[in-house]
Amino acid sequence: MQHPGRPFAKLLVVYFGLIEIAHIIALAQAAVRLALSGTIPFPAPPPPGGWSAQARPFLISMGVLDAINVVFALAFVYGYFAAARWRWCVGAVSLSVATYSAILYGFGAVFSGAWAHNAAAYWSVAVAYSPVAVLTVLYVMWAARGQLHGSWSQERGSSP
């Protein structure tokens, strides 16, 4: 089992930061295209016939929340490497939001028919996200084993 300070864990945290930077770029490009053409492109290409009137506000609000979460993700990455006391709390929030968003994104894409119609786009996002899923699973395991709390206690100089 990886420890939160091991090289593999560090690599996953760096990857999380990089994927979130790519995510904000994709969201910004999608926002510009939405403003100019009224279409919602990658990272959420539509099913045949386009996104329904009900799905559009949901996708836009999800994009806004994802953009806000990028700030939390980058704060977590910074805090992780700076050994900030708040890093585990911010990481829990950011990874939770990212996981929730990924599940909703995938669920909506599959059941709307968008995934089947744009398989390459959706699979590329799923593959790119998979290391973040691994980090999330490890994070939950670290928390369950008290490794995150232990890190806080050691930094404060008290016993776990």
pLDDT recorded at residue 40? 86
Residue 61 has which token pair?
């609000």
Per-block average pLDDT, block size 10, for the chain (160 residues)?
81 97 95 91 89 92 97 97 93 97 95 95 96 96 79 43
Please tell me the predicted confidence (pLDDT) of residue 110: 96
Relative orientation angle of helices 147-156 and 87-112, to the nearest 10 degrees:
150
Q: Please write down the HEC assignment for all residues of the chain.
A: CCCCCCHHHHHHHHHHHHHHHHHHHHHHHHHHHHHHHCCCCCCCCCCCCCCCCCHHHHHHHHHHHHHHHHHHHHHHHHHHHHCCCCHHHHHHHHHHHHHHHHHHHHHHHHHHCHHHHCHHHHHHHHHHHHHHHHHHHHHHHHHHCCHHHHHHHHHHCCCC
| Contact between 106 and 43 (Cβ < 8 Å) | no
At residue 35, the pLDDT reads 94
Q: What is the pTM of this model?
A: 0.87
pLDDT for residue 160: 37
Contacts of 93 by beta carbon, 8 Å cutoff, 6+ apart: 72
Sequence-distant (6+) residues with CB within 8 A of 125 are 43, 105
